Amino acid sequence: MNVKELYQKTDGWLDSFGREERSLIAVLQAIQEEYSYLPREVFPYLAKEMNLNEAQIYGVATFYENFSLEAKGKYVIKVCDGTACHVRKSVPILNKLRQELKLDDGRKTTDDQLFTVETVSCLGACGLAPALTVNGEVHAAMTPEKAVALLAELRREA
């Protein structure tokens, strides 16, 4: 982690969103979008710049589901397990992906840092159930077989 660069970029976001407490979530979102996770090194820096204590920042960063303190894979696959997807059998898709990538509920990212598999409560794409997203792009009407084919396709692309 290039800490100097991290602080520099963070300064840029602090300048555009502001240094008040109300900007904290937006700043954390910007950091996460850039690095795909929240490097812990940024917390003391933010605490100083925003005049908050580090615990407050850590509290916010761990409260919200979208923030991650661990680096994610190149392809973040989010399997929707909202009600509509669930009743149209999204769990077998999740299980298949985890089985193929040797992941489980605790281990979400592959060792080669290529894939992260997570669930999401609802993408609001219920008409396309069961759905999953790869780096934000929605894939509709999935099946375990289609999910395996998708992995192969992503591996070729990588």
Partner 1 sequence: MTRINTRDELIALRKKCIAAEKREKRKILVCAGTGCVSGGSLNIYAALKEKMAKEGIACEVELAADPHEDVVGLKKSGCHGFCEMGPLVRIEPEGWLYTKVKVEDVDEIVASSIQEGKPVERLAYKQNGVIYEKQEDIPFYQKQTRKVLEDCGRIDADSILEYLGIGGYRAFEKALFDMEPADIVKEISDSNLRGRGGGGFAAGTKWSQVARQKTTPKYIVCNGDEGDPGAFMDRSVMEGDPHRMLEGMMIAGIACGANDGYIYVRAEYPMAVARLRTAIAQAEELGLLGENILGSGFSFRMHINRGAGAFVCGEGSALTASIEGKRGMPRVKPPRTVEHGLFDKPTVLNNVETFANVAPILLNGADWYKSIGPEKSPGTKAFALTGNIQNTGLIEVPMGTTLREVIFDIGGGIRGGKKFKAVQIGGPSGGCLTKEHLDLPLDFDSLKKAGAIIGSGGLVVMDEDTCMVEVARFFMHFTQNESCGKCVPCREGTKRMLEILERIVNGEGREGDIELLEELADTVTNTALCGLGKTAAGPVVSTIKYFRDEYEAHIREKRCPAGACQKLKRFTIDPEKCRGCSKCARNCPVNAISGEVRKPFVIDGSKCIKCGACKDNCAFGAVKEG
- Where does this chain bind partner 1 (CB under 8 A)? 20-26, 28-29, 56, 59-60, 63-67, 81-84, 86-88, 120-129, 131, 136-140
Q: Which residue has the tokens 């219920």?
A: 126
By C-beta, is 73 or 82 nearer to partner 1? 82
Coil vs helix vs strand at 127:
helix
By C-beta, is 16 or 83 nearer to partner 1? 83
Residues facing 76 on adjacent strands: 116
Q: Are 12 and 22 a contacting pair, CB within 8 Å?
A: no
Burial of 131 (0-12, 13-18, 19+ CB in 10 A): buried
Q: How far is the CB of 125 from partner 1 (least distance, A)?
A: 5
Coil vs helix vs strand at 18:
coil
By C-beta, is 28 or 117 nearer to partner 1? 28
Q: Are 43 and 58 a contacting pair, CB within 8 Å?
A: yes
Q: How far is the CB of 113 from partner 1 (least distance, A)?
A: 22
Tokens read off for 122: 């609802």
By C-beta, is 64 or 152 nearer to partner 1? 64
Q: How far is the CB of 2 from partner 1 (least distance, A)?
A: 25
Q: How far is the CB of 109 from partner 1 (least distance, A)?
A: 18
